[in-house]
Structure 1
Amino acid sequence: MRIQNACRASIVAAASLVTLAGCSASSGGASGGSLEKTDIVVDAFPAIDSAGLFIAEQRGLFKAQGLNVTIKLAATSQTAIDGQLKGQFDITSADYVTYVDNVLLDKAPLRIIAESSFLQPNVLTLLAKPGSKVQSVRQLKNKTVSVNAPNDIGTLLVDSLLTDNGVPLSLVKFNNNVDFPHVPQNLLTGKVDAAFAPEPFVSLFSMNVGTQELADLDQGGTTDFPIQGVAVTQKWAQDNPHSLAAFERAYAQGQEIADTERTAVESALKKFLGMRPLAAALVSLPSFPVGVNPVRLQRLVDAMVRFGLLKQKYSGFKIKSIIDGG
C-alpha cells in the first residue's frame, strides 16, 4: 500500500505552514470466499480521524486479508465522494455531514460500512487569537466565525454550540472558506473573530501562534458526536462482497489498535500526515469505534434537520437505511 506522492506532498506543505494541517475484529487472513478484487483504492480525508485506516496499512492488516490497499489523501470530503461516484476510488473516508448531504440531496447511492471516529474533549474546538476581547461564546453576537467549508461538520457543531449558549444564529456571520492552515492568519488580521479547527491544528496553533481555545465542541448537544466514517457505493458492495468483508475485518482491527494504543496512532500520524513527533505526542484524540452504531449516527441527521442543514421533510430519514447490513 502506498500514498500517492502528490497528495502526501500537499499534506507536508500544509504542515509546514503551521510548523507542521456493533462488530468485532477477527484475527487471521481472508475467509468466507474468494476475493472479487484485491487492489483497493481508498480516498481518505487527511485527519486524525483516519488513524485506524492508517494503522491497518502500517501493521499489514489489509495484506493479511489478501488486499493491496492504496491510500490517497483527499482535498476535502466532497472531492473524495465525487471521485468515488466517478469510479476513481473504491472506498472513501469522509465526514458524515457530507455523506448524508450527498445521499439525500444528490441521491448518491452510498452505504456506510464503518465508523472512523466520534468526538472527545479538545479534538474539535473554536479558537480565538491571543489576547482576544472575545472571551466567551456569548460574545460572538455580531462577530465572524470561520469554518473550512459551507454546511459541513464544522457548521453543524458551531451552530449547536451557539444555540446551547443562547446566541441567535442570525447574529453570527460565517466565513465558509478558511482552510485550516490559514486560520492563524485570519484570526491575527481580524478577518474572523473565532475559527473552527481540529487537531492537530489546535495544538500546533497554540504552540506556534498562541491561539486560545474559546470553546471545546465536545459539549452539550454534540458530546460524543460522530464525525467521520467509511463508505462504498451500493454497486461496489454488491459486486465485491468478499473483498468488502475482508476490508472490514482489517479495518476493525486497525480501529481497535487506534483506540487502545496511543503510540500506534502517533506513529501513523507521523507517517501518513507528516506530523512531527512532538505534535503527534501532544494532540488530543477522538474515539475510534468498531462497527457502526445507528443510534449514534442518527443524532447527526437529527441535528442537521434541527439547524437547517437539511429541510424539515428529511426529519423522518433513518440513517440505518444506508448502513451496510442495515
Structure 2
Amino acid sequence: MNRPGRVGRARRGSVRAVGLLATLLAASLTAGCGLFGGSDEAEGSGDNTTAASGPLEKTTLKVGVMIGIDCSGAQLALLNDTFKEEGLTIEATTIQSGALAIPSLAGGEFDITFGNWVSFIKAQQAGIVDMKFISESYLSTPNSNFSVIAAKDSPINSPKDLEGKRIAVNAKGNINELLLRAVLDANDVDFNKIKDGLVEMPFPNMAAAIKNGRIDAAATIDPFVTAAQKEIGAKIVFDMTGAGPTENFPLSGFATKKEFADQNPNTIAAFQRALLKGQQLAADRSKVEEALPKFAKMDPQTAAIVKIGQFPTTIDPKRIQRVADLLVTYEMLPKKLEIEPLVVPIPSENG
C-alpha cells in the first residue's frame, strides 16, 4: 500500500510522530464532577468563519473534561469566567480518557466532550456516534509532550533498540500507539518486531515498572516524563513529537453529537467563543502554569518545567485530516474518513 510516512521520511529524515493526548494524562485520573462552573450573560469573540447567533437553546451543558496540559485552554476559560460571560453554566465530569467518554456522549450523558482525535475519528467511522467536531484543543510541537523513556543505564538509545523489548503504552490502538508507529516508521524500524512487546499500563505506573524491570521502556507524556526523570533518573530515548511530517499534529479537541449541534447551533457557538478565549489565554505560558496546579493537581514546581505544545485558536479540517490519513496509513482505520463535513467552524467575532 502507499506509505506517505515514508515519503516524508525520505524528504526530512527525522523522527516524527503524532501526539494526544489526548488520552494523555487520562489514565491518572478518576471520574468526578463539579470542577467547572458558570452562568449568566452572553456575547463573545471568535476566530473562524461564521456560525449561528441568537438566543441560546440551552444554557446548562454537561461536558466531559480531562485535567491535563492539553485541556489548559478550557481550564483558563473556566478560571476567567468566559463561559459565564456567554451565558453558559458548565456541569463537568472528569473523564479517564477520550475513548471512555465517547459512549457517554452517544448515550446523552454528555452534551460535549473533550477527547483525542484518534478516538473520535475511530468512533465516528465505526458508527458508535455521529459527531461534530467543534474545537481543537492542543497541538504537538517538538519536545512538547510525548517521549519514549528508559532507565538511565538502559542499553536502549534509539528506536531500533526497541526491537524485541517490552514497551509500555497507556492503551493499544490509540494515539500513543499511532505516535510510536510513526516514529518507528520514520526510523526504518519494523513495527511487527515491536508490537508483541507492547504492554498496556497507566501512565503513572510506568516509571516504577521500568525501575523494577517489568518493562524496558515506556511511551509516555509529561508530567510523567518529568516525574520519571526526578524519581528514577529516567532518560529520554527519543522525542515522539519531533520535526517531520507529524510535527504540529492535532492531538485533542472537543466534540458533540451531530443531533445536538443541529438542534443547538447558538449554544454551540457560545461554547466555541468561550473556549476560544481560553485558548488565546493559553498562549501565555505563565497563565498555563497558573492553571495546572488548580486543575491538574500538579505542584507549581513541576508546572514550571513541564513541556508545553500549542493551543490552536482555529479548527482546521485539513489539520485533523492528517490524523485520519495517518491512521489509514498504519492500518488503524479501515478506510479514509473525510473530516471537513464533521467540523463546525468557530463563529466570527460578530457571530
**How far apart in 1 are the matches of 2:30 and 2:118?**
27
Retained in 1: the 8 A contact 2:315–2:345?
A: no
1:144 aligns with 2:166: yes
Q: Which moved more, 1:44-53 or 1:228-237?
A: 44-53
The code of the aligned residue for 1:322 comes to L
Superposed, 1:184-199 pairs within 5 Å as 184-199=207-222
Retained in 1: the 8 A contact 2:30–2:94?
A: no
**How far apart in 1 are the matches of 2:306 and 2:32?**
20
1:102 aligns with 2:123: yes
1:305 aligns with 2:328: yes
The secondary structure found in structure 2 opposite 1:222 is coil
Give the deviation of 1:8 after TM superposition: 5.8
1:179 aligns with 2:202: yes
Aligned to 1:236: 260
Unpaired stretches in structure 1, ≥5 consecutive residues: 12-23
Retained in 1: the 8 A contact 2:158–2:237?
A: yes
**How far apart in 1 are the matches of 2:247 and 2:209?**
28
Retained in 1: the 8 A contact 2:30–2:96?
A: no
Match of 1:34 among 43, 49, 55: 55
Match of 2:248 among 224, 229, 234: 224
**How far apart in 1 are the matches of 2:281 and 2:96?**
26
Q: Which moved more, 1:103-112 or 1:88-97?
A: 103-112
Residue correspondences, number: 301
**How far apart in 2 are the matches of 1:46 and 1:214?**
27
The secondary structure found in structure 2 opposite 1:296 is helix
1:322 aligns with 2:351: no
Aligned to 1:21: none
**How far apart in 1 are the matches of 2:81 and 2:215?**
44
Match of 1:73 among 94, 98, 101: 94
1:25 aligns with 2:46: yes
**How far apart in 2 are the matches of 1:194 and 1:291?**
35
Aligned to 1:249: 273
Which aligned runs of 4 or more in structure 1 are off by greater than 6 angstroms? none
Aligned to 1:15: none
Superposed, 1:120-135 pairs within 5 Å as 120-122=141-143, 123-135=145-157
What are the superposed Cα offsets for residues 63-114 of structure 1, whole Å, 9 maximum, x if unpaired?
A: 0011111232101111111111111111111000000010002342111111
The secondary structure found in structure 1 opposite 2:255 is strand
The secondary structure found in structure 2 opposite 1:155 is helix
**How far apart in 2 are the matches of 1:79 and 1:156?**
18
What are the superposed Cα offsets for residues 20-51 of structure 1, whole Å, 9 maximum, x if unpaired?
A: xxxx637xxxx931111111121123321000
Aligned to 1:18: none
Unpaired stretches in structure 2, ≥5 consecutive residues: 1-28, 36-44, 347-351
Please tell me the root mean square deviation across aligned C-alpha atoms, in Å. Answer: 2.0
1:288 aligns with 2:311: yes
Aligned to 2:4: none
Retained in 2: the 8 A contact 1:121–1:284?
A: no
**How far apart in 2 are the matches of 1:191 and 1:305?**
32
CA separation of 1:142 and 1:276: change in aligned 2, threshold 3 A: same
Give the deviation of 1:154 after TM superposition: 0.2
Aligned to 2:189: 167
1:156 aligns with 2:194: no
Aligned to 1:14: none
> Percent identity between the aligned chains?
31
The secondary structure found in structure 1 opposite 2:135 is strand
Retained in 2: the 8 A contact 1:175–1:192?
A: no
1:208 aligns with 2:231: yes
1:55 aligns with 2:76: yes
Retained in 2: the 8 A contact 1:144–1:193?
A: yes
Give the deviation of 1:147 after TM superposition: 0.8
